């Protein structure tokens, strides 16, 4: 039977009182005869003395007997109280240590975590509030450890992503200065392309910072999803055609409008369709579909791409998360900024977003919901 902390404290106090009372009675019973005998030892002499011959013997003997009994009783009670106090202190010490020990352990672990040691964990086998607190502490430590891992990965990924275009720009400029590269339009176009790539990365990081901190506002209004999907399709028609991937819209004509911010929803659709293009090989296809479910609209972006292993699905929306760490952003590995932005924007609209995949080579589907406008 699991007891909460309040019940345990009450029972611990009750236990201390009961133990003290039992010890008090037991010691009193053991010590009372001896104490009574010592105080009553002089009764014979008193009863045979002059007071017995003066006619007041019975009264004096009764008074003296009561005084002796009282003295013996209080002596026994004093010894019993001392014994009960000692036992009660021992029991209280044991109970308090059993309750305080987990708190001290969590205090030490929290101090270690404050110093950056996020692998600290505490024992959480109890079934009371202290056990729940220990489990919550371990969950917090695990989350902080994950955040620290992501922070280090973020720094490494940002450095890597910025180093590549900067290296290309630096090499081109050095080649122009040394006369190795010709000052041709092709050379300047290459430098401009790398500069644009670096600018997009900086813009993505700024956008990520805004959406994660909630530093943006939404202009919510009824939005026609088919019209917005057509806008996204036109925006991405050139890269889809260049890679040889087909993009299909499968939206019912009676689809109700959604309550959304037009620009932000277009950003979500563009990011998801762009992500699908990135992971779909030549000859594949991407389908954007939607359907009404209760008071929300479910939107799907389905591709026939490389798929996502099951162990990566819970982290696919983490910032800078890569399914394959060996692949670069340029070669198709992606950095996960776009998906992270999508997650925050969809949730800001009051919707949900998730991904499903049958496994590697089986394609993937990204789902998100929006409230009906």
What long-range pairs does 12-20 form, CB within 8 A, spacing at least 24?
Answer: 12/92, 12/95, 12/99, 15/91, 15/95, 16/88, 16/91, 16/92, 16/95, 17/88, 19/84, 19/87, 19/88, 19/91, 20/84, 20/85, 20/87, 20/88
Q: Is 239 in the same domain as 190?
A: no
Residue 254 pLDDT more than 70?
A: yes
Lowest mean pLDDT, pick from 85-89, 100-104, 187-191, 326-330: 326-330
pLDDT for the residue 292: 92
pLDDT for the residue 66: 53
Q: Print the domain residue range for 243.
A: 221-371
Q: Is 192 in the same domain as 225?
A: no
Residue 71 pLDDT more than 70?
A: no
Residue 117 pLDDT more than 70?
A: yes
pLDDT in tens, 178-222: 888 888 888 888 888 888 878 877 887 787 777 777 777 888 999
Query: What is the Cα gyration radius of the chain?
Result: 41
Query: Which has the higher per-residue pLDDT, 328 or 5?
Result: 5
pLDDT in tens, 305-323: 999 888 888 888 877 666 6
Say if CB 279 and CB 332 are below 8 A apart: yes
pLDDT in tens, 8-32: 666 676 676 677 677 766 766 676 6
pLDDT for the residue 328: 45
Q: List the CATH number of the domain containing 301.
A: 3.30.565.10
Residue 250 pLDDT more than 50?
A: yes
Distance in angstroms (rounded) separating the CA atoms of residues 367 and 373: 19
User: In 10 A of CB 296, how many CB atoms?
Assistant: 18
Residue 115 pLDDT more than 50?
A: yes
Residue 138 pLDDT more than 80?
A: yes
Q: Which two tokens stand for residue 357?
A: 């995949």
Domain assignment present for 172: yes
DSSP for 46-110, please give it.
HHTSHHHHTT-HHHHHHHHHHHHHHHHHHHHHHHHHHHHHHHHHHHHHHHHHHHHHHHHHHHHHH
Residue 263 pLDDT more than 80?
A: yes
DSSP for 178-237, please give it.
HTSS---HHHHHHHHHHHHHHHHHHHHHHHHHHHHHT------EEE-HHHHHHHHHHHTH
Query: Which has the higher per-residue pLDDT, 62 or 306?
Result: 306
Predicted structure pTM score = 0.56
Distance in angstroms (rounded) separating the CA atoms of residues 67 and 95: 41
The dihedrals phi and psi of 149, each to the nearest 5 degrees, come to -65, -45
Rounded alpha-carbon distances, angstroms, from residue 249 to 61, 246, 269, 338, 351: 115, 10, 12, 21, 21
Residue 147 pLDDT more than 60?
A: yes
Q: Is 277 in the same domain as 308?
A: yes
Q: Is 313 in the same domain as 332?
A: yes
pLDDT for the residue 327: 47
* Dihedral sign for Cα atoms in the order 3, 5, 7, 11: positive
The dihedrals phi and psi of 245, each to the nearest 5 degrees, come to -115, 135
Q: Is 243 in the same domain as 364?
A: yes
Domain assignment present for 69: yes
Query: Which has the higher per-residue pLDDT, 356 or 105?
Result: 356
Q: Is 232 in the same domain as 367?
A: yes
State how many domains the chain has: 3
């Amino acid at each position: 039977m699991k007891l909460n902390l309040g019940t345990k404290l009450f029972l611990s106090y009750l236990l201390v009182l009961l133990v003290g009372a039992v010890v008090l009675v037991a010691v009193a019973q053991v010590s009372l005869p001896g104490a009574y005998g010592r105080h009553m030892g002089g009764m014979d002499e008193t009863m045979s003395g002059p007071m017995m011959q003066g006619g007041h013997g019975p009264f004096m003997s009764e008074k003296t007997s009561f005084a002796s009994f009282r003295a013996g009783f209080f002596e026994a009670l004093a010894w019993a109280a001392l014994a009960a106090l000692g036992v009660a202190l021992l029991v209280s010490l044991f109970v308090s240590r059993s309750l305080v020990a987990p708190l001290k352990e969590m205090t030490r672990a929290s101090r270690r975590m404050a110093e950056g040691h996020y692998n600290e964990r505490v024992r959480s086998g109890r079934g009371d509030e202290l056990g729940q607190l220990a489990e919550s502490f371990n969950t917090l430590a695990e989350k902080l450890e994950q955040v620290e891992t992501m922070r280090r990965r973020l720094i490494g990924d940002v450095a890597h992503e910025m180093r590549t275009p900067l290296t290309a720009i630096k090499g081109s400029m050095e080649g122009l200065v040394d006369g190795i590269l010709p000052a041709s339009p092709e050379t300047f176009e290459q430098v401009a392309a790398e500069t644009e790539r670096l600018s997009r990365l900086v813009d993505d990081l700024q956008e990520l910072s805004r959406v994660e901190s909630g530093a943006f506002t939404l202009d919510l209004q009824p939005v026609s999803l088919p019209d917005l999907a057509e806008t996204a399709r036109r925006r991405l028609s050139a890269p889809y055609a260049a890679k040889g991937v087909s993009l299909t819209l499968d939206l019912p004509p009676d689809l109700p409008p959604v309550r959304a911010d037009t620009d932000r929803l277009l950003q979500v659709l563009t990011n998801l369709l762009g992500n699908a293009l990135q992971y779909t090989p030549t000859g594949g296809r991407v389908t954007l579909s939607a359907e009404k479910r209760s008071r929300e609209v479910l939107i799907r972006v389905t591709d026939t791409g490389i798929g996502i292993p099951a162990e990566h699905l819970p982290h696919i929306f983490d910032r800078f998360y890569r399914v394959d760490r060996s692949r670069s952003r340029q070669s198709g590995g992606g950095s996960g900024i776009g998906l992270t932005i999508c997650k925050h924007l969809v949730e800001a609209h009051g919707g949900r977003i998730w991904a499903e995949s049958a496994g590697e080579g089986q394609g993937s589907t990204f789902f998100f919901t929006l409230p009906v406008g």
